[in-house]
Structure 1
Amino acid sequence: ASLFVSICISILKLPLSENYILDLFIGSTNGCERTSFAFLRQELPVRFANILKEIDLLPDKLLSTPSVKLVRSWYIQSLKELIEFHQKSPDDQKVLSDFIDTLIRVRNRHHDVVPTMAQGVIEYKDTFKVDPVTNQNIQYFLDRFYMSRISTRMLMNQHTLLFDDKSGSGHPRHIGSIDPCCDVVEVVNDAYESAKMLCDQYYLTSPELKLTQVNGKAPGEPINIVYVPSHLFHMLFELFKNSMRATVEFQENSSTLSPVEVTVVLGKEDLAIKISDRGGGVPVRKIERLFSYMYSTAPRPNVDDSRNTPLAGFGYGLPISRLYAKYFQGDLNLYSICGYGTDAIIYLKALSTESIEKLPVFNKSASKHYQATSEADDWCVPSKDPKNMAKQSAAS
């Protein structure tokens, strides 16, 4: 097994476009399943082995935490189970059936990877002093680790949704988890309604939605793209929650709440979704912290509760949402005016041929990131947090 893992690490991962993923799963049912099996039995072990190698480059003190040990054991076990299919025949129906069962087992095993790894980071921070270099290395790793997880779940979901007779039929228009004609405005409205329900439950009020859509490719036509609706919903739901909470809290003394304004624009190359609120904004110095796994100030939940409240309390909503956007070569950016409000913009590729997976590659360059040491800054850099000048003058 260890020899095979070494071979897997030496094989470059194949980043797939949405078009390729669709083509991989379209065709005569059995032939298509065999093609998918032949591809995944090689590609999944490569992706698992590569990220497992990066886990092993983490600081020893982080690796020694119970939660990270548990996550590592899941990856080792899953890799072993996937390797077993390397030499098996795709023409054997039992092999194909067993492969589906294995994918479901692996997917279920990794269900709580995000909160468990987050718990490991908390255990590390609680026990050891964390320096800026370690923060940077962990941020680098977690972005790659969670992106790798998004990619492997995407491939496993595609295969099981299409070829597992026991899973039931999904949305008739979808090919696995991909919607070839994803109605962007419909997903925006769904995400808004879900966030509004939470906001109403907690605050007993919520801001209205003001929606503008511009189809620059086909004026007057609905805005549709090839995309994964669940990924888009995840991003929008997170942004709506943040905007609604900020608006309600910033305008708590107002008789009416400013609406959350959403602008959806489809251009020749990009789809952009801008969510604007009047929630008071955040200081510029805090923007990057919102995307940091190490700076969360949210309350710490019990990992056992994670199935009911995914990611709740770990402060991972924004960084994970940005990874979903980047997965198919998009992005998610925040632009804030302190004292006024915030614009969040999701950028996605308008063309499915350009929507290609963004995958971490383990090589010498990646390895160097984990060996970074603290160096003196060659710019004069002020403190990250503003000083209290009143206290300073009193002390002098």
Structure 2
Amino acid sequence: MFSSTLRAASKRRGLAPSHRPILKRCSRCQSSANFMTNTPVKARNSPTWRPVSVLDEWVAKEARPISLRQLMVFGRSLTEARLISSANYVRTELPTRIAHRIRDMQQLPYVVVENPHIKDVYNLYYNAFDTFRKVKEIKTLDDNDRLCEIISDNLKKHLTVIPKLAMGIHECEGLFDAKEMDRFMNTILKSRISRRVIAEQHLSLSETYNSPHFSPGAKLSESDFIGEVFIKCNAKSVIESCAAATRKIARSTNAPDVKVPEIKIEGHLETSFPYILSHLEYIIGELLRNSIQAVIDWHGKHGHPEDEPPPIEVTIAEAPQHATIRISDRGGGIPRQELPYLWAFSKGPHSQQRLANLGRVPKMAATMQELHIEDDLGRADLKTPPYQSSLATLTSRPPDLRLGMGLPLSRVYAEYWAGNLDVHSLEGYGVDAFLQISRLGNKNEQVITRASMDAV
């Protein structure tokens, strides 16, 4: 009752979001009593005044999730009318999804929101929301071109979001319940993926439509992309390309005489499914990278220098509804003290080192392409779009820089399309990682469609 009265009073006064009083439990004290931060005096670097009622109007709306199949059906026979319809979906869906995440951030404890990294993300989100909500209905191809310029510009600006969020979470350790913080991170990262999916899909469709070789309404073959969706994504091919890239990284980050384990692929080698290629590459790349380094380290301590390190075995299994990829290594398993933090963004035994490493990564699109050294993954079929996309090489992240985000972010990607990622460790022997993927593309994106902490 008291909390709702405070929110209503804040709305009437038109306080800036980060200046609104927030009623939260203090995680530093064991008391269950609530505390309220005092409304601070406006400082020189405080965010500009923003009317709360504008955000409320958009938070009252609900996001409309989509599936891979919907993306494919919509883009398979592309016409001008369909492209403009796609533009208007993006025009209204982006500010709706951003508004709900802004509201989630407003409900964090004030001390967390005031963290400089979290505040930067908040301002990026609000500026993007303010930009997209003012875009008028798209009626012509010229209108669509202007929208694409706005989308492309925002995609580029938001490449700083993941490292800033991660640094903010690490710095706020102890100020907020760790499980709640991880839940917040999962929500905001899935939402970020969802916005990039619909934004990049529309940019890709627009690029296709404007191509001189495009014929409106033309059918596409199963070997083609529909926007960013690879119609027939072959699991074996993706694993092979990621294996080549990660083994090359391992050779560059270890001594020249260090032997890199082979990667063997077996099982249902013809398994394919519709998927967004960069998502699958990120997951497989991170899992292989972890396994390769674990085997190298374990073999260096316990194996004979003349012996070859044990291979990493990848098994592909196909079922009617889903496909499963198992990655097995003999790299000694995961130390017991690290297991409780395996999927955590916020803390762990190496949190301070991770924080220092994150400070060296100004941008992060969370793609395999960030780990390239000289060339690409060896694929001839993947286009490099001219717009700033998470499919493009947008960062210079050193390949040996450990951020502690690979597994939790990989699970976020896996769960986004109703899949799953699980890891089983046998300490002293090795690890089995199981990635399950929906094969039919008929599952909606798994996103929170409303503000998870306070809807309105």
TM-score > 0.5, shorter chain as reference: yes
Equivalent-residue separation in structure 1 for 2:133 and 2:52 (angstroms): 11
Determine the structure 1 residue equivalent to 2:84.
34
1:71 to 121, 128, 131: 121
Determine the structure 2 residue equivalent to 1:383.
none
Determine the structure 1 residue equivalent to 2:388.
none
Structure 2: gaps of 5 or more residues: 1-50, 214-221, 364-394
- CA displacement 1:208-252 (0-9 Å, x = unmatched): 01111226xxxxxx2110111110000011001100111111111
Confirm whether residue 150 of structure 1 aligns to residue 189 of structure 2: no
Determine the structure 2 residue equivalent to 1:325.
414
1:210 to 261, 264, 276: 264
Q: How does 1:75-224 map to 2 (within 5 A)?
A: 75-85=125-135, 88-125=136-173, 130=174, 134-164=177-207, 173-203=224-254, 204=256, 205-214=259-268, 222-224=270-272
- Amino acid in the other structure paired with 1:178: V
Secondary structure in 1 matching 2:159:
coil
Determine the structure 1 residue equivalent to 2:321.
269
Secondary structure in 1 matching 2:77:
coil
TM-score by length of 2: 0.73
Cα drift, residue 200 of structure 1: 1.1
- Amino acid in the other structure paired with 2:178: N
Which is richer in helix? 1
Secondary structure in 2 matching 1:122:
helix
- Amino acid in the other structure paired with 1:357: E
1:280 to 320, 332, 353: 332
Equivalent-residue separation in structure 2 for 1:273 and 1:281 (angstroms): 19
Cα drift, residue 28 of structure 1: 3.6
Cα drift, residue 2 of structure 1: 4.3
Confirm whether residue 25 of structure 1 aligns to residue 111 of structure 2: no
Cα RMSD between the aligned structures?
A: 2.5
Secondary structure in 1 matching 2:162:
helix
Identity of aligned pairs, percent? 23
Equivalent-residue separation in structure 2 for 1:356 and 1:28 (angstroms): 22
- Amino acid in the other structure paired with 1:224: S
1:55 to 105, 123, 139: 105
Confirm whether residue 257 of structure 1 aligns to residue 309 of structure 2: yes
Segment of structure 1 superposing worse, 171-180 or 47-56: 171-180
Count matched residues. 353
TM-score by length of 1: 0.83
Would the alpha carbon gap of residues 244 and 358 (structure 1) be closer, same or farther in structure 2, given more than 3 Å must change?
same
Q: In the alignment, is the contact (CA less than 8 A) between 2:64 and 2:93 conserved in 1?
A: yes
Secondary structure in 2 matching 1:110:
helix
Determine the structure 1 residue equivalent to 2:438.
349
- CA displacement 1:363-391 (0-9 Å, x = unmatched): 5xx3289xxxxxxxxxxxxxxxxxxxxxx
Secondary structure in 2 matching 1:352:
coil
Determine the structure 1 residue equivalent to 2:446.
358
Q: In the alignment, is the contact (CA less than 8 A) between 1:22 and 1:175 conserved in 2?
A: yes
Secondary structure in 2 matching 1:335:
strand
Would the alpha carbon gap of residues 240 and 167 (structure 1) be closer, same or farther in structure 2, given more than 3 Å must change?
farther
Equivalent-residue separation in structure 2 for 1:39 and 1:90 (angstroms): 10
Determine the structure 1 residue equivalent to 2:25.
none
Q: In the alignment, is the contact (CA less than 8 A) between 2:166 and 2:346 conserved in 1?
A: no
Would the alpha carbon gap of residues 69 and 166 (structure 1) be closer, same or farther in structure 2, given more than 3 Å must change?
farther
- Amino acid in the other structure paired with 2:317: V
Would the alpha carbon gap of residues 167 and 287 (structure 1) be closer, same or farther in structure 2, given more than 3 Å must change?
farther
- Amino acid in the other structure paired with 2:194: S
Equivalent-residue separation in structure 2 for 1:305 and 1:34 (angstroms): 35
Equivalent-residue separation in structure 1 for 2:362 and 2:223 (angstroms): 32
Structure 1: gaps of 5 or more residues: 216-221, 370-396
Equivalent-residue separation in structure 2 for 1:279 and 1:167 (angstroms): 49
- CA displacement 1:309-351 (0-9 Å, x = unmatched): 1894431111110010000000100001111100001000111
Segment of structure 1 superposing worse, 137-146 or 285-294: 285-294
Cα drift, residue 304 of structure 1: 4.9
Determine the structure 2 residue equivalent to 1:378.
none
Cα drift, residue 187 of structure 1: 0.3
Would the alpha carbon gap of residues 214 and 256 (structure 1) be closer, same or farther in structure 2, given more than 3 Å must change?
same
Cα drift, residue 29 of structure 1: 3.0
Q: In the alignment, is the contact (CA less than 8 A) between 2:283 and 2:413 conserved in 1?
A: yes
Q: In the alignment, is the contact (CA less than 8 A) between 1:15 and 1:357 conserved in 2?
A: yes
Confirm whether residue 308 of structure 1 aligns to residue 360 of structure 2: no
Equivalent-residue separation in structure 1 for 2:233 and 2:100 (angstroms): 32
Would the alpha carbon gap of residues 266 and 67 (structure 1) be closer, same or farther in structure 2, given more than 3 Å must change?
same
- Amino acid in the other structure paired with 1:43: E
